[in-house]
Amino acid sequence: MELPLKFLAPLVAAGLAGCETRSPDPQPGPPVPTAPLVDGVREVVEAGLVRVREAPEDVGAWLELAMTFEANGLTENAVTSYERAVELDGSSAQAWHHLARALSRTADLEAALAAADRACALAPAYAPASWRRGEWLLESGRLDEAAAAFVRAREIDPTDPAGAWGLARVALQRGRGEEALALLTAPSDLEELPPYTHHLRAAAHRLTGNEPAAELAQSLAGPPTWRDPWAAEVPRRRAGIHRSLRAARAAAAAGNYAEAAQRLERLRADDPRDVNVAGMLAGVYLAQDRSAAAMALLLSTRDRVGGHYRVAFNLANAHEHAGDDELAIEEFAECLRLHPSFGLAHFRMGRLLARARRNEEALVSLDEAERLGQASAELDGLRATTLLRLGRAREALELLRTSCREHPQAVALAFTHAEALLAHGTLDEAKAALRAVETLAGGDERAADLMRRLTARSVAERDEE
């Protein structure tokens, strides 16, 4: 499908489809809603407007503003903001996906499909991009293309019923009731069919003339539950949610976990698919030492929304809190499969791998964490410890020297540096490092132990002389 002119311009200017663009000309300001805004909505919209005015080429700021508009029913403003986001970064599959969804609400299916084509091209393994494209093709009456999109969605994620639902709807439009029923059968007798599957089965039974079966299916029918993690990011921008989330955060920060849990549980009841609320609530449960409750909550969220990197990340935290490092590592790996550039997940997994003495894997994760902006004294200490275990003492000592200069108040790093020099450095270097430790933590028993080891080494070296 050809892109409409308003989408084609930034791609031509970039010279390559999907590369980042920066216009040399002054850009128009953010879209300001013309209708009066109710209290709550006004505040969250104004906060988003301030951010894009301060950083007019920040793609993340435009996406945040667009989702805020969308969540609060300001579709036209959302479309304009999503368009600005893809002008700034044409390689963002998520921005194109959101734009397509917003455009579909304006009834501009041609433009929605153009944006959906870009999302599918940029994220070929993201099933919701394919089945949403199929939905809009179906609405446009392009049944063959719609069927192909739904087939692709099923290939990407066979566990997501959206592909089968779409193919069944295509079959129903073609008057093929038996074909639709074949698509709407559970993989096993033990698996319960989703309510929307029963709704479509009722239509298929009516098409084949089986009214009793249609009535039975209709009694079990209900609306669809869509698995679209990117779309699930939008509802949490609703104005009322912001106030409740702030109150919950304040309660948790004050140590009032019962109040925080109560507030978050109410939000979750309103929208069980909100992965951000689920993550916050799971964190509160962990603070209450309720690991089982946190895991049950997050697994329930996964059942509703499918694979989502934040759900996997929070499940990893829950397993780590419960003392199951292996399961935690598995969930961090799943998180990174879904979001390979999530630096904090690389760091957390690297820390667990180092703890398990899986040193080669740990070093890969920790190096990637640093590349993705997670540099810290703790990260440097872990990397140095891993290098020492791998027999790469020279690299470890150089890293520690540099990091101690950058983080002179980091106590744990100073201990790691002193211990490394006791084992691999000169006596004078070890003495200097131990003086730094005593300055930071002179009364610590570990400092006293290092001093005893330093004394023993001094005596041994004198005896050798």
**Long-range contacts of the stretch 389-398 (C-beta < 8 A, 24+):** 389/357, 389/359, 390/359, 390/360, 390/363, 393/420, 393/423, 393/424, 396/420, 396/424, 397/421, 397/424, 397/425
Span 66-89, mean pLDDT?
A: 89
Residues 165 and 265 in one domain: no
Question: Does pLDDT of 23 surpass 50?
Answer: no
> Dmax of the chain from CA atoms?
102
Q: Which amino acid is at 180?
A: A
Question: Does pLDDT of 426 surpass 70?
Answer: yes
Q: Which residue has the tokens 């739904």?
A: 150
Flag whether 16 is in a domain: yes
Flag whether 430 is in a domain: no
Residues 22 and 160 in one domain: yes
Residues 148 and 255 in one domain: no
Residues 243 and 181 in one domain: no
Comparing 115-124, 335-344, 389-398, 439-448, the range with the smallest average pLDDT is: 439-448
Residues 364 and 260 in one domain: yes
Residues 370 and 255 in one domain: yes
Smallest Cα–Cα separation from 275: which of 257, 298, 293, 241?
298
> In whole numbers, what is the pLDDT of the chain averaged over residues?
85
Spatial distance between the Cα atoms of 24 and 384, rounded to a whole number of angstroms: 45
Flag whether 195 is in a domain: no
Residues 150 and 25 in one domain: yes
Q: Which two three-digit tokens encode residue 95?
A: 């921005």
pLDDT value at position 34?
55
Smallest Cα–Cα separation from 358: which of 393, 392, 385?
385
Q: 331-353 pLDDT, tens per residue?
A: 999 999 988 888 899 999 999 99
Flag whether 340 is in a domain: yes
Flag whether 417 is in a domain: no
Question: Does pLDDT of 356 surpass 80?
Answer: yes
Q: For the whole model, what pTM was predicted?
A: 0.54
Question: What phi and psi, each to the nearest 5 degrees, are found at residue 210?
Answer: -95, 80
Q: What CATH number corresponds to the domain at position 138?
A: 1.25.40.10
Residues 154 and 242 in one domain: no
Residues 397 and 284 in one domain: yes
Spell out a b/e string for 172-203, using b for 16 or more CB atoms within 10 Å of the CB, else e. beeebbebbbebbeeeeeeeebbebbbbbbbb
Residue 358 three-state SS = coil
Q: Are residues 311 and 298 in contact, defined by beta-carbon separation less than 8 angstroms? A: yes
Q: 173-232 pLDDT, tens per residue?
A: 999 999 999 999 865 544 578 889 999 999 999 999 999 999 998 898 888 888 898 898
Residues 145 and 17 in one domain: yes
Flag whether 40 is in a domain: yes
Residues 258 and 365 in one domain: yes
Q: Are residues 292 and 325 in contact, defined by beta-carbon separation less than 8 angstroms? A: no
Range of the domain at 166: 5-185
Please give the tally of structural domains in the chain: 2
Residues 46 and 149 in one domain: yes
Per-residue pLDDT band at 39 (split at 50, 70, 90): low
**Long-range contacts of the stretch 359-362 (C-beta < 8 A, 24+):** 359/386, 359/389, 359/390, 360/390, 362/386
